[in-house]
Amino acid sequence: MTRVKVCGFTREVDLAAAVAAGVDAVGLIAGVTVETPREIGLADASRLAATVPPLVSTVLVTMPDDAGEARRRIERVRPDAVQLHGLDPADVAALADAPADVIAAVDPTDPDLDAYAGAADALLVDSIDDAGGGGTGETHDWERTREIVTSLDVPVILAGGLTPENVATAVERVDPFAVDVASGVEREGGVKDHDAVGRFVERATRARIAP
């Protein structure tokens, strides 16, 4: 079954609703160099992460300058995984012994995909904007992402422009390890629509993959 990560929580009530809806992972965005209504401080990320029950993974989404800064942020928030935007493959590899799984956020056209796949525990293939951030609400070429899923030996998380309306088709076409959504389940920036989160989880996990 396809796993589901919902990203960009700013409020405990939304986090609890997503857990009740059955998400596998929740993303907390802190320390990014782009403007986004989903950013919170590291202290709030740590506080919110502590409210998440066992068996649901917490993911710190961050844009550090280097591996050292990433490590300090991991130690501060103590997430189960860190999702890195903007670090090169060497810095990602330098975090192999960090006390968190490492997810590298990449654009499907990135020329260094092989190096990222060798350095990270998982790839988040996203519609990355010019500044290196996510949360664009834009889909990308799913055929290309399907090729990445079949050619690389690493779990691939599909992100970018997913919604309750298109997630089943995305899962059927790409067959990713997991799907990820931020803006597609919001009623306003940084505030989740609980019904939309529930529909997203239901449709992502019920989608049929062709044998």
> Which parts of this chain interact with ligand LARABZUK (CB under 6 A)?
7-8, 27, 29, 32, 34, 36, 38, 61, 85, 126, 133-137, 159-162, 180-184
Closer Cβ to ligand LARABZUK, 66 or 97, answer by number: 66
For 50-188, where are the alpha helices, taking DSSP H only? 67-77, 89-93, 113-119, 142-151, 167-174
Closer Cβ to ligand LARABZUK, 95 or 167, answer by number: 167
Closer Cβ to ligand LARABZUK, 14 or 180, answer by number: 180
In whole angstroms, the minimum distance from the beta carbon of 114 to ligand LARABZUK comes to 22
Closer Cβ to ligand LARABZUK, 63 or 94, answer by number: 63
In whole angstroms, the minimum distance from the beta carbon of 72 to ligand LARABZUK comes to 18
Closer Cβ to ligand LARABZUK, 76 or 210, answer by number: 76
In whole angstroms, the minimum distance from the beta carbon of 135 to ligand LARABZUK comes to 2
β-strand 186-188 against 191-192: which pairing, if any? antiparallel
DSSP collapsed to 3 states, 130-154: CCCCCCCCCCCCHHHHHHHHHHCCC
190: left (phi over 0), alpha (psi -120 to 50) or beta: left
* Cα–Cα distance, 186 to 195 (Å, whole number): 10
Q: Name the one residue in this structure whose structure tokens are 């309750």.
A: 164
In whole angstroms, the minimum distance from the beta carbon of 202 to ligand LARABZUK comes to 17
Q: Which residues, 6 or more positions from 52, have their beta carbon under 8 angstroms from its beta carbon?
A: 15, 19, 26, 58
In whole angstroms, the minimum distance from the beta carbon of 59 to ligand LARABZUK comes to 8
